[in-house]
């Protein structure tokens, strides 16, 4: 009797353990492209596009700040939760700290099974004096935007303004 009960408990436990991670994994995951696009009319200097790698840096920062994000290489698809991000503005005039503030603006749309459930505009500005390049200033802004988006994903709302937007 004891061995039968022990076996039943063991099998039930194994079944529960094998089911639980698969049920929990992906439940709140948000797919994000590993490399996000610049908007069609984005204001970005060609040197920034060529040298700063913002298209991959920003999603990496978001992934570091959120346990909900899953970076994907291919199309996002329509199933589950997907966050479409687009870089719309990068202002990084040359000349380091002496050329004034630098900023990045990103727009995002969160969809669940194809239906929009939230969107935002995020903007971060830096005027720090310890920026040695346009790319380092842009990276600081991208990191802050990654934190802003990660917090927003906890309670996504329509027409949100994140950071300095």
Does 15 map to a domain? no
Does 148 map to a domain? yes
Rounded Cα distance, 15 and 18, in Å: 5
Q: How many CB atoms lie within 10 A of CB 148?
A: 23
Does 6 map to a domain? no
Look up the pTM and report it: 0.79
Quote the domain boundaries for residue 64.
28-163
Rounded Cα distance, 47 and 43, in Å: 12
Does 137 map to a domain? yes
Cα–Cα separations (whole angstroms), residue 155 to 65, 75, 106, 124, 136: 15, 25, 18, 20, 30
Mean per-residue pLDDT for 62-80?
A: 91
pLDDT over 50 (residue 89): yes
The tokens for 44 are 């970005």
Q: In CATH, what number is assigned to the domain containing residue 44?
A: 3.40.50
Instruction: Please count the structural domains in the chain.
Output: 1
Q: What is the pLDDT of residue 92?
A: 81
Does 36 map to a domain? yes
Does 8 map to a domain? no
Does 45 map to a domain? yes
pLDDT over 60 (residue 157): yes
Does 11 map to a domain? no
């Amino acid at each position: 009797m004891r061995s039968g009960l022990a076996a039943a408990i063991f099998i039930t436990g194994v079944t529960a353990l094998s089911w639980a991670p698969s049920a929990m994994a992906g439940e709140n995951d948000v797919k994000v492209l590993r490399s996000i696009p610049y908007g069609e009319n984005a204001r970005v200097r060609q040197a920034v596009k060529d040298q700063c790698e913002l298209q991959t840096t920003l999603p990496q920062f978001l992934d570091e700040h959120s346990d909900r994000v899953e970076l994907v290489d291919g199309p996002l698809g329509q199933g589950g939760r997907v966050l479409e991000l687009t870089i719309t503005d990068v202002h990084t005039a040359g000349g380091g700290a002496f050329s004034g503030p630098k900023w990045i603006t990103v727009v995002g749309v969160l969809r669940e099974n194809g239906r929009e459930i939230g969107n935002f505009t995020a903007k971060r500005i830096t005027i720090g004096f310890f920026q040695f390049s346009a790319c380092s200033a842009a990276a600081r802004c991208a990191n802050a935007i990654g934190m802003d988006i990660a917090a927003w994903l906890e309670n996504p709302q329509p027409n949100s303004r994140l950071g300095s937007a």
